[in-house]
Amino acid sequence: MWQSGACFPTGYLTRPGLNALLWACNATSAAPCTASSGSSGLAAATDSLTAGASASITFSATAAAASPYGGAWMRVPLTGAGAAGRSLSRVGLRGVFPAAPGLVRLYLELASGGVVGPLLAANGTSSYSWLAAAGTWDGVAAVVVNGTAPFSVQEVGAAAGACEETAVVDLGAERSVGLVRTRYWPSSALGSWLLAAPDTSPAAAAAAALLGSPLESLPPSWVVAVLDPSRLAALTLNLPAPVQARYIAVRHRVPPTDWAKVSVWDIQAWGPQASPSPPPSPSPPPPPSPDNWFPLAGSVKSFSLGGAVTVSSNPDPSALPCVADSNDNTQWQSDACYPTGYTSRPAMNPLLRLCTDASSRTAPAPPADTSSPGDGGGCTASTGSSGLPQATDTSVYTGAAIEADPAALAAGSPAAAFLFAALPPHPADAPEQPRLVRRVSAKVWWGSSGGGGAQVAVVLLFADGGRQEVGRLTPGVDDYAWHHITGSWTGVVAVSLESAARFQLTELALSAGPCVEWAAVDMGAVQPVGVLRFRYWSPDSAAADLHVSADGVAWTPIRTGLDPTQLSALEIYLPTVMQIRHLRLTHRVKEDGDWRKVYCWGLDAYDLFGRWGPPPPPRPQAASLRQLLGVNGIWGWGFNKFSRDLAKTGSGPALYSPVAARGRNYHAMRWDVRSPLNDPKYDTMAKSGTDVFWWLNWDNEYVGWKAAGLTVDASFQFLAEDFPPAAWGPDPAGAAYRLGAAFARHFGPRLAPPNVSLDSVEVGNEPWTGYNASFYSAILRGFSRGVKDTDPGLRVLPCALQAAEPLAEDPSNGNFVGARIGPDVAPRLDGLNLHVYSWFRDPEGVGGPPAGAVGAHRGVHPEHRGSSMNGLNNMLAWRDANMPGKPVWVTEWGWDAALPGEVCATSLCVSQHAQALYAVRGLALLARKGVAGAHWFFYANGDDCNTVFCRSGLRGSNATRFPVLPVYRSLLGLMQTAGSAAFLDVLAESPDVYAYLLGAPATAAATGGAAAATHVLVWRPVAAGEGPAEAEPSAAVTLTLPRAPTAAWAISGAGAVPVSQLGAVAVRAAAAPAPGAGADPSGPADWTLTISAVPLLLKF
């Protein structure tokens, strides 16, 4: 890449368009520089060389009396100033200056005759240093430098105009340009532009103008596009109309800060791109029905949303609602206890408002008896003192006048003026026993004391009669400034401020309690709470505690000693439902420094199911387990060749057909078109490839998938980093329509040959970044219409979305289904699409680091109450409310686990043994919830990465030659024993046991049920260990089975292993008699089953 220089602090000196003094002192200058008599070498002061020759400026006492500029001076007129002068943003000076008391100053002379400054002043200590001043000065005619003694100027500069950096590419000749690709990084630029200039005469004049002329002085036609100055990814622009250009440039306007630079990686240009084929006539959109549309239907409202918030400090009305708005991006911030925040907190400052009128008095000397503070404490001051209540009222704008007792003053007493404050008794229920004083703070003023005043001693008095001076305040040093004395003292019963002369006491405070910050939410009513969710950050605290209460009086600790550095939101799943109305998060703030604060983003409470909502009621599945399971693959399946060729050797997709009935391909749009406005050329790709790659023929890929027996789904994948919103042109929906029509025309099942046709297409995979909701909706609307108008048989799904978090949307990014799918497009969609992984952010830190770190994201078993896999519940609820009857597809799911010898550098990894068990259990759960498809991610482990998604393959990596993994064997075992069966009903779903009845897929004539069950799949819904299967702890459960089992298999990473002794896992307990009849030996009966985390498949 190319990186620019920096305009500032001194780079602008060499730039004619920016330095208004460059070569101003040349002999040929229109307005020559002038200087005091005898001065020489003036041209060197504006030659842009800060370390070169100097202008020597002499001093004349005679001139000092006669010249308005003084005895030694130099005047430099601005180039191009004109009668109105110029605007400047910065001036700078470097030279050799006289020793003190000599002084050199820089002024600005205005065209109006006025003078601004001095802006700079220097003596010998600043010699050879670059001095600069920044600001905004209009109408400047000249820069004047003068001094009280001789000096020299190595360089003087004045910045006029904006700092702009430009990179220019010469195409060699003037060409017609229709497509430009560039990558740049302007950091904090104020603006960025794409420029194009034609060839000009004389040669290279246009290039010189692009490099040196301000943007405003260039022809408007040269500005081709306004660029996003915050962008880092490569940008491709398909110009609405071709431009004639020889020079293509990227220009950035840089902020006037020191060392600000820009970078440009490349600038490429192509000729006009071919126009896309004329689209077929679009069908009219279906009428919207907004009255029956519920965008938030899937999201679960927290009990605490909108609750009444109270806090320990900083009750900012704009911040308080953030604690109860269920938004992880808004927060409340506490105040700081120290240095002075504690003074207004009754729990910390026992002196707060102690000196009331009723409890204050005057006396000639401090009280002698300090053994008891009295009933409520009080204040005593020296005779004549006044305003004592103002010494402890927390206001530094009021104060008590502490006068010297006349007799004590005459006697020379060091305590002639005093304030004695007896502390109230320490509360018996205070959290800290005994009382511990750790800071005394006082603000004293001697301004009216006359004679300068005397020191004020700060004395602590103890219950045993002792006293200790802990500090002194000094006139002229501590005048009207807070003075803080820190330490650790117990048994303190009073504090006394004592001086030999009168003083003003603005405020007195004493810290005698821990610094505690808290935020609490009153939900308004008692609620049945099963899940608590909270987010905080408090590195300034020692620990955080979470408490709940039904009445706001009696508090129950839920977690104490929470990690204060935890930033991510945590969820706690309570073992039993609790009746709760109040939530409180408390921080014990460290007291070893000032300005320590804590943050709270939110406190949320939910019912038993948390923010996922309840699962849907079970319904018999129309698809068998085998029909449901798919696998995510890519072009070439890791072999770097078309799958047509892989089919000949039984590799690639053929390796996965034993376990999966469907294959999902990440069909990259950037492989098909260079611009969304281009024709992908599917119909001619067999001869000349796509618009991007001459060699690419997708038919050669998909024919291999179909030959392996897979039903093929394509995720038409596009990202904003490849195709930003601007690249889609003025009509994004129209561009998407043409792409959808082209895709359906070539791959649709009604138009394409059966050996290459596709079953469905997704409009994007995860295009969540860079496309806001309205823009993606336009793409979805256009693409889906293009498909359905061309081949209605090609099923259309949206990209993967979620229904749990509405606040996942922001002005530029997001994936919330309620924002991205509206009633206008829903009728053209054949279903919904989401990605679900079983992750949970652990609030306990179980298992040791890294996975056991508090707040670590962990891979968990699919039945875990907090598993993110439960986000499917939200989508199903959203579907039922807005698109009833439409199927829901899970197009990505799975777990990461490493092969021996491979690294899995993420806490989301589980053991290979656990991955194998969770795959079977997870597929059963997805079937039970009614999904239409479940594509495992991924077909194989990655070669060049070791983090999340890189170790989730059904087979090992290419580097390990794609070995079969335990997860593959477990799914294969399930398919071999029950693949043709479908979910029928739930036999049990409890913390102890999950049991699902399986049988023939449901049809309109046969809807399943216990009588139709051929198998039952049963397991303990607990985390699995490292393996083997025999090492998993077992438990006995009793279930009512519809018939006696005849065979059993334990399904794990070893496959479906037959249970040789059925009685070891299933023992008949007693028959369940039918109504009005006796026991039926062949009918339903209670069976005691021995189960573990390993799924047990029983066949009837």
End-to-end CA distance of the chain: 69
Q: CA-CA-CA-CA torsion for 665, 666, 670, 672, nearest 10 degrees?
A: 10
Tokens 């004047």 belong to 144
Share of the chain above pLDDT 70, in %: 94
Would you state the pLDDT for residue 1080?
Answer: 58
Number of other residues whose CB lies within 10 A of the CB of residue 331: 18
685: Cβ contacts below 8 Å, ≥ 6 apart: 696, 697, 698, 699
Could you tell me which of 108, 94, 106, 105 has the C-alpha nearest to residue 136?
Answer: 108
Q: In what order do the strands lie in the sheet with 662-668?
A: 795-798, 760-763, 711-717, 662-668, 629-633, 933-936, 888-893, 832-835
Q: Convert the pLDDT of each residue in 980-1006 to its tens digit.
A: 999 999 999 999 999 999 999 987 545
Would you state the pLDDT for residue 1006?
Answer: 55
Pure H helices in 9-98 = 61-66
Share of the chain above pLDDT 90, in %: 77
Phi-psi sector, 1041: left (phi>0), alpha (psi -120 to 50), beta: beta
Q: Could you tell me the sign of the dihedral formed by the alpha carbons of 347, 348, 351, 356, in that order?
A: negative
Q: Kind of pairing, strands 516-537 and 308-311?
A: antiparallel
Confidence of residue 447 (pLDDT cuts 50, 70, 90): confident
Q: Is residue 434 predicted with pLDDT exceeding 70?
A: yes
Would you state the pLDDT for residue 1008?
Answer: 60
Phi first, then psi: give them for residue 161, nearest 5 degrees: 100, 175
pTM (2 d.p.): 0.72
950: Cβ contacts below 8 Å, ≥ 6 apart: 896, 904, 941, 942
* Full DSSP string of 289-305: -GGG--TTTTPPPPTTT
Q: Is residue 431 predicted with pLDDT exceeding 60?
A: yes
Would you state the pLDDT for residue 213?
Answer: 87
Instruction: Tell me the one-letter amino acid at 879.
Output: R
Would you state the pLDDT for residue 865?
Answer: 96
Would you state the pLDDT for residue 369?
Answer: 63
Three-state secondary structure of 338-365:
CCCHHHHCCCCCCCCCCCCCCCEEEECC
Give 776-781's long-range contacts (Cβ < 8 A, gap of 24+): 776/820, 777/820, 777/821, 777/822, 777/825, 778/732, 778/733, 778/736, 779/728, 779/732, 779/733, 779/736, 780/736, 780/820, 780/821, 780/825, 781/285, 781/733, 781/736, 781/824, 781/825
Q: Convert the pLDDT of each residue in 494-545 to its tens digit.
A: 999 999 999 999 999 999 999 999 999 999 999 999 999 999 999 999 999 9
Q: Is residue 367 predicted with pLDDT exceeding 90?
A: no
Secondary structure of residue 237 in the 3-state scheme = strand
Pure H helices in 188-311 = 205-212
Q: Pull the structure tokens for residue 926.
A: 């997805």
All structural domains of the chain: 19-159 (2.60.120.260), 163-270 (2.60.120.260), 308-328+515-608 (2.60.120.260), 349-511 (2.60.120.260), 662-799 (no CATH), 978-1073+1081-1099 (no CATH)
Confidence of residue 1076 (pLDDT cuts 50, 70, 90): very low
Q: Is residue 849 predicted with pLDDT exceeding 70?
A: no
Average confidence score pLDDT of the chain: 91
Q: What's the CA gap between 591 and 594, in Å, rounded? A: 7
Three-state secondary structure of 945-963:
CCCCCCCCCCECCHHHCCC
Q: Is residue 607 predicted with pLDDT exceeding 70?
A: yes
Q: Is residue 315 predicted with pLDDT exceeding 50?
A: yes
Span 607-624, mean pLDDT?
96
Span 278-300, mean pLDDT?
68
Q: Is residue 850 predicted with pLDDT exceeding 60?
A: no
Secondary structure of residue 1011 in the 3-state scheme = helix
Q: Is residue 280 predicted with pLDDT exceeding 60?
A: no
Cβ pair 93, 103 in contact under 8 A:
no
Would you state the pLDDT for residue 263?
Answer: 85
Q: What's the CA gap between 613 and 617, in Å, rounded? A: 12
Q: Is residue 1033 predicted with pLDDT exceeding 50?
A: yes
Phi first, then psi: give them for residue 423, nearest 5 degrees: -70, 145
Would you state the pLDDT for residue 285?
Answer: 45
* Full DSSP string of 758-779: -SEEEE-SS--BS--HHHHHHH
Could you tell me which of 154, 156, 149, 144 has the C-alpha nearest to residue 72?
Answer: 149
Span 623-628, mean pLDDT?
97
Span 1002-1021, mean pLDDT?
81
Tokens 């029928």 belong to 984
- Segment among 88-92, 188-192, 548-552, 736-740 with least mean pLDDT: 188-192
Q: Is residue 561 predicted with pLDDT exceeding 80?
A: yes
Q: Convert the pLDDT of each residue in 943-977 to its tens digit.
A: 888 889 999 999 998 888 899 999 999 999 999 99
Q: Kind of pairing, strands 131-147 and 86-96?
A: antiparallel
Cβ pair 1052, 954 in contact under 8 A:
no
Phi first, then psi: give them for residue 781, nearest 5 degrees: -60, -45
Q: What's the CA gap between 122 and 332, in Å, rounded? A: 47
Would you state the pLDDT for residue 277?
Answer: 44
- Segment among 57-66, 128-137, 1039-1048 with least mean pLDDT: 57-66
Confidence of residue 371 (pLDDT cuts 50, 70, 90): very low
Q: What's the CA gap between 1030 and 633, in Å, rounded? A: 33
Span 923-927, mean pLDDT?
98
Q: Is residue 476 predicted with pLDDT exceeding 80?
A: yes
Secondary structure of residue 422 in the 3-state scheme = strand
Confidence of residue 270 (pLDDT cuts 50, 70, 90): confident
Beta bridge partners of 492: 462
> CA 326 → CA 301, 534, 578, 650, distances in Å?
9, 9, 20, 52
Extract the runs of DSSP E, i.e. beta strands, from 820-867: 832-835, 839-841, 857-859
Would you state the pLDDT for residue 289?
Answer: 58
Would you state the pLDDT for residue 1073?
Answer: 52
Phi-psi sector, 541: left (phi>0), alpha (psi -120 to 50), beta: beta
